[in-house]
Structure 1
Amino acid sequence: MVSHRKLDWITQDEAIAASLEKWQRVVDLLTKLLGADVCYVVEFNKNLGYRAAVTSQTPENPAPDAADHPAPLDSNIYCRQVVETKMPFYEPDARNKSEWADNPELTEEGFVSYLGTPLLWPDGEVFGTLCAFDKKQTRYDATLKQLMEVFRDLIEADLRLYEQLQIMRDLSMTDPMTGLNNRAGFELLAQQKIRIAKRYHHHIGIIFIDLDNLKHWNDEYGHAAGDAALRAVGQAISECIREVDICGRIGGDEFAVLGYVRNRGDLTTIITRVRNTLDHAKLTVPNAKSPIHDTPQISCGASVFFDPIDKSLDEMMAAADLEMYRDKKNRRS
């Protein structure tokens, strides 16, 4: 799965909401045309399992809402056969077949017939399946199987559009030097974090980080070394923040981190980790003006905003920025 797909379940991304409406019509129509009890678009995650993303809205469907809990990876369900082989699979009657003796879809829900086809990303990785279930034996002919393939093509076309959207979104929100969010990307994600913090009464912490004396790096070793120092800071931040934090390069030599915190100590811990990581950084730059003996040094400022949060993002960033300049001044004195 390419790096542009960042969510565990892609179908929970707002960017694909319009496609889900189309997929709903697909599974409803497919259910009618096949005369099946229920049809699904099932999403696959190689770490989490199988999740019903879209399900037909028919009276025969025992669970018309998309499943909240995914089926485990080792569950002997019909879709597993499709995902593992990346091939269509048809089981007209699973009763009295030993290979399905522990299939919960058969033993618990009573689905004896299954027709499924894989849904693939443009790079050939499995997104999931388009599938139909029935509680009675079926005899689908070749035309009906071809019909499912047509619907499969419609869904895969949406996956291609989604992939292209993610690529364009990443290009517009990513700093090419460090691979971190640029200022626009950071602020977009930060606003989302703040909305969630207000809803669930979290505290917000912000860290401002500035690479000290970038001019020295450029003048002493060359601009390639200055770029390498910036990348080293970006990498150190990425390695040292928590999964719940976001970070970005918001200016020439300035970086920011935002996340939910308990107190200022959470931010101090992150800053200490970043500084320790940079102390051990070894920068090698081809054709540098002179051998590099320095390691990147940073100035940092941190501010915590406790619930209820009444500051705007700009106000929060200004407060952390001020703390960073105080730290820089103290380090120079």
Structure 2
Amino acid sequence: MALIDTKEIYIHEDIGESWQEIVNLISEISAIPATLIMRLHKHELEVFTRSQTPNNPYTPRERERIGMGLYCEAVINGRKELIVNNALEDPDWCNNPDIKLGMIAYFGMPLHWPNGDIFGTICMLDNQPQQFDNPTKQLLRRFQAIIETDLNKVYQQAQLTNENKLLSKKVAEQTRELEQLRNSPPQQNSA
């Protein structure tokens, strides 16, 4: 089985629409201005899906270079959830680039492909200090599980597509070899 580069796997529009509903619902239920699904690329993080809320400062498909000190980078590097209640009062986060957008509170968790690679993050950001309560945390964790189920389906489809291409290539090679054998003159035994 050939290896799959998860950073190159296409996410179909149907799944994107479902994820859009998820981030909109999270922001609506929690009254938080920004919920994002971020996708990790080789050297960048992409705003893959953003809640369509009035005070969300993030732009769809916007990319930020890795190494800028984003909250999501810490989630990806640590492979675990991160809570920042107020970046302005946290020495580890007081210089975070999201502060320029007014986003000072953060709760995010990693999204994994089934092979263990990181897809990115799902996260909530607020423009005021936020104590993320247990129901809010449970809500985000539940949607994390749903998105990872979607990623599993997408990954399996990519595997099947990849295997189908390999099998088609082998069949084409064997067909050419058989055609060459059929068209070659018969060998005469010299006995």
TM-score normalised per structure 2: 0.83
Identity among equivalent positions (%) equals: 24
CA 1:173/1:78 → structure 2, altered by over 3 Å: closer, same or farther? same
Tell me, which stretches of 5 or more residues in structure 1 are unaligned?
176-180, 185-247, 255-333
Once the 2 structures are TM-superposed, how far is the Cα of residue 183 of structure 1 from its aligned partner?
8.3
Q: C-alpha separation between the residues in 2 aligned to 1:76 and 1:146? A: 26
Question: Is the contact between residue 56 and residue 64 of structure 1 (CA under 8 Å) also seen in structure 2?
Answer: no
- Which residue of the other structure, out of 40, 51, 60, is the alignment partner of 1:44? 40
1:101 equivalent in structure 2: 94
Structure with higher RCO (Cα < 8 A, 6+ apart): 2
Question: Is the contact between residue 38 and residue 60 of structure 1 (CA under 8 Å) also seen in structure 2?
Answer: yes
**Which 4+ stretches in 1 moved above 3 angstroms?**
5-8, 248-251
1:82 aligns with 2:69: no
Question: Is the contact between residue 87 and residue 96 of structure 2 (CA under 8 Å) also seen in structure 1?
Answer: no
Q: C-alpha separation between the residues in 1 aligned to 2:177 and 2:82? A: 55
CA 1:252/1:87 → structure 2, altered by over 3 Å: closer, same or farther? same
Report matched runs for 1:145-184 at 5 Å.
145-175=137-167, 182=169
- Which residue of the other structure, out of 20, 29, 33, is the alignment partner of 2:29? 33
Once the 2 structures are TM-superposed, how far is the Cα of residue 62 of structure 1 from its aligned partner?
2.0
Question: Is the contact between residue 58 and residue 64 of structure 1 (CA under 8 Å) also seen in structure 2?
Answer: no
Tell me, which stretches of 5 or more residues in structure 2 are unaligned?
179-191
Counterpart AA for 2:71: Y
Once the 2 structures are TM-superposed, how far is the Cα of residue 7 of structure 1 from its aligned partner?
5.1
Question: Is the contact between residue 41 and residue 131 of structure 1 (CA under 8 Å) also seen in structure 2?
Answer: yes
Q: C-alpha separation between the residues in 1 aligned to 2:17 and 2:157? A: 18
Once the 2 structures are TM-superposed, how far is the Cα of residue 249 of structure 1 from its aligned partner?
5.0
Once the 2 structures are TM-superposed, how far is the Cα of residue 49 of structure 1 from its aligned partner?
2.0
Secondary structure of the corresponding residue to residue 50 of structure 1: strand
TM-score normalised per structure 1: 0.49
Question: Is the contact between residue 83 and residue 108 of structure 2 (CA under 8 Å) also seen in structure 1?
Answer: yes
Report matched runs for 1:259-278 at 5 Å.
none
Q: What is the CA RMSD across the aligned residues, in angstroms?
A: 2.3
Larger Rg: 1
2:50 equivalent in structure 1: 55
1:112 aligns with 2:107: no
